[in-house]
Structure 1
Amino acid sequence: MSAITKYSEEELVSQLQSRNQQAFSYLYDNYAAALNGVIYRMVNDKELAEDILQEAFVKIWNNFATYDTAKGRLFTWMLNLTRNLTIDVLRSKGYKKQSKISADENSVSNYADNNATTEKFDAIGLKKQLSNLKPEQRSIIDMAYFSGYTQDEISKEMGIPLGTVKTRMRTAILELRKLIQ
């Protein structure tokens, strides 16, 4: 067995463009955990996150020719690809139908699910900051940044005008900036 190879980003990109499978294994070993964490925060389901991660790496491999070093770093490209794939899964009819079925089947455990969300905010230090926002601002930030909703989807889900969503989101972001600084 050969020694473990380390790549600079430029070398890694070059090797991946040459379709080097060892470089792809290196890519997976070094980036899978970070990408899985992003996916998990969006879906809050370990098995689904692992499925999306696998699909993301297949997409990365198949679409690597579209990566342009002039437009950004490799990790940023992979992160955007993975995030967009996760949002596509969350928006899919099959996922929405399955999540409604799961919500009905597990209605007793919904209280525990809400606590898990609260603990997730605590783990990254946002609970305190978000608790300082007005409830309508907090729910918009939660839907947009932690559930992957677009502003239009938030508008429809909450039954409020799109302009109101945009105003509340902007105000909430400005408030969070003040709190963080």
Structure 2
Amino acid sequence: MSTFLEAHIVQLLGEEDERAVGLIYDNYADTLYGVAYKITKDDALAQDALQESFVKIWKKAASYDAKKAKLFTWLFRITRNTAIDKLRSANLRDDREIQIDISDVYNLGTTSLKPEHLDVKDHIGNLDEKYQEVLNALFFEGMTHQEASEALDVPLGTVKSRLKIGLRELRKVFNCFVLLIILVL
């Protein structure tokens, strides 16, 4: 790609001009799809990752800094991270489905243990607000870590730390509950 065209795209990004996305698509989409496909090894996931990447590229257009990275490097990182998130999300979904289908360990039946009896939302409500926000986004709104990071406008590492701390606090409450269940059974 010519440096003139790249500079033009960078200028359009800085101006938040929609033509930048079209130019990026025309000049980089095939390569970025290849990046996503190499990570996901699945056509549908790679296409989803590419589409999400373009949305992120547009949303983050004003934050691109040519002094920190070349345009392709910036596009590559966004696409790579999005593809990794997609793959992790798909693998977690697959693992949960397999586990539910083949595992009868701890199968208490639907009448024995109901989520509403656990009062999970009530216990989450007792946590600091910053932990509540993360847990609600991830577990009740179905967001990925990356999506929660963007929605809450906090760094990805902060989302993960707050998740870990929030779960640790909930574990303290529910360890006692699980112990009671085991004693009753």
**Structure number with larger C-alpha Rg:** 2
Normalised by the length of structure 2, the TM-score is 0.47
Normalised by the length of structure 1, the TM-score is 0.48
